Amino acid sequence: MQVPAADLYARFREHETELRAAMDAVLRGNRYILGPAVERFEQAFADYLSVSYCVGVANGTDAVALALLGLGIGAGDEVICPAMTAPGTALGIMRAGAKPVFADVDEGTRCLDPQSVEQSIGKRTAAIVVVHMHGNVAPVQTLLGIARRHALCLIEDAAQAHGATCEGQKLGTFGDAAAFSFYPTKNLGCLGDAGVVVTSDATVAQRIRRLRNCGWNADRVSIEAGFNSRLDELQAAVLNVLLPWLDHENGRRRVLAERYKRELAGLPLGLPAHGDGAVFHQFAVLSEDRTRFRSWLQAGGIGTDVHYSMGLHQMPAFPKARLPVTDFLAKRLVSLPIQPQVAEMHIDRIIERIRSYEWRQ
Ligand SMILES: *Cc1c(COP(=O)(O)O)cnc(C)c1O
């Protein structure tokens, strides 16, 4: 039997009855945009994180853009971020009118390297966007210190880190604001596109609420050039069903990751330095001969994926940069199956197949 890298229906199938009932209630509710399900989810996700404000938006890319604009960052500003991330991080920065400046990452955490961040700070730098890559815990406290010393904003891109913690505090609550995506593959995912911005600043939250909906004031007068970036009732209803399961699902991922770590230790595979509160959005190892390693697994019926095979600084849409660690990782990263509905059934077989690989140094 084939082990896919991921199987999305398998994850939603575990909650199919509840999801159908929730979607039915939206259909009959006569409100499809910014209604009671959105309000309920915004409150529930804010409570889950212990943060004051949560604003539902259309996707994670918009969440990055709106977090920056809400903090007053935009045209003329530079924003430091990693290039080892999804395009949404840098596209969000550009959508806000700012320029992404790529800093390098750490080989173990695959997250921003504070030293490279400090070296990237210039006269126009207004903010740092830190990504908790693969659900690993980025050095948020160190980066917050750097941001404060240089009077910069810190924004967390927590699109891969729902429910992750650093010293017991939820990721997404360390900086001035944080962006989350609920794209179907994320640790908390829905049946389409959705995102939120969270912040503990009432003024910032209010500005983002206005910006997501046409820049309207209370009289529906556009007082600034806002977005159409609203969270659908249908997606919010799905998220209301799945949020109570997030910790359980993350726990299942953690059990799988512990087994990988224990049973792959000693092999010539670079294991992630994920941090205690990690949530294993991916479990990515480093392979010196990735093509051959992935072919070996594929021939054994095991699907893998690569997140990501190229740093954003190598793509035509983004500014260039010299990032040796990002380039090193981009050639070697291999994501092993970690979605519980796929991996739990097959983990013995996956580990056995990896152990029987003919290593060449
Ligand atoms: C998924 C993701 C995004 C973008 O989210 P969308 O909802 O797809 O726009 C941004 N940053 C990171 C780190 C992501 O993983």
What pLDDT does 274 receive? 92
Token reading at 282: 């991916």
Do the Cβ atoms of 215 and 228 come closer than 8 Å? no
pLDDT in tens, 270-296: 999 998 999 999 999 999 999 999 999
Do the Cβ atoms of 341 and 9 come closer than 8 Å? no
Q: Give burial (CB, 10 Å; 0-12/13-18/19+) of 109.
A: buried
Give the Cα separation of 276 and 280 in Å (integer). Answer: 11
What pLDDT does 360 receive? 81
User: Residue with the nearest Cα to atom 5 of ligand 1?
Assistant: 60
Kindly report the number of other CB atoms within 10 A of residue 33's CB atom.
13
Give 153's strand partners.
127
Residue type, 159: A
How far does residue 91's CA lie from ligand 1's centre (Å)? 10
**Among 265, 261, 262, which residue's Cα sits nearest to residue 274?**
261
Query: C-alpha dihedral over 178, 182, 188, 192, to 10 degrees?
Result: 170
Give the Cα separation of 2 and 233 in Å (integer). Answer: 36
**Among 166, 159, 163, which residue's Cα sits nearest to residue 142?**
166
Mean pLDDT (whole number) for 29-37: 97
Quickly list DSSP for 306-343. Answer: -S-SS-GGGSTTS-----HHHHHHHHHEEEEP--HHHH
**Among 170, 323, 146, which residue's Cα sits nearest to residue 250?**
170
Establish whether the linkage from the previous residue to 32 is cis, with ω within 30° of 0.
Answer: no
pLDDT value at 112 more than 80: yes
2 band by pLDDT with thresholds 50, 70 and 90: confident
1 band by pLDDT with thresholds 50, 70 and 90: confident
Give the Cα separation of 183 and 361 in Å (integer). Answer: 38
Q: pTM to 2 decimals? A: 0.98
User: Residue with the nearest Cα to atom 6 of ligand 1?
Assistant: 60
How far does residue 182's CA lie from ligand 1's centre (Å)? 8
Whole-angstrom CA distances from 124 to 74, 121, 289, 318, 355 are 11, 8, 40, 18, 50
pLDDT in tens, 185-243: 999 999 999 999 999 999 999 999 999 999 999 999 999 999 999 999 999 999 999 99
Which mutation among 61, 62, 182 tests ligand 1's pocket best, with the greatest number of atoms within 8 A of CB?
61
Residue 147 DSSP label: H
What pLDDT does 361 receive? 63
The residues near 270 (Cβ < 8 Å, ≥ 6 apart) are 107, 108, 285, 286, 287, 332
Give the Cα separation of 123 and 77 in Å (integer). Answer: 9
Do the Cβ atoms of 64 and 93 come closer than 8 Å? yes
Give 180's strand partners.
196
Give the Cα separation of 236 and 38 in Å (integer). Answer: 5
Residue type, 61: T
Binding pocket residue ranges, ligand 1, CB within 6 Å: 59-61, 85-86, 88-89, 131, 157, 159-160, 181, 183, 193, 195
Q: What is the CA 74 to chain-centroid distance, rounded?
A: 22
Give the Cα separation of 179 and 63 in Å (integer). Answer: 5
Do the Cβ atoms of 343 and 350 come closer than 8 Å? yes
How far does residue 268's CA lie from ligand 1's centre (Å)? 30
Backbone torsions φ then ψ of 187, nearest 5 degrees: -55, -40
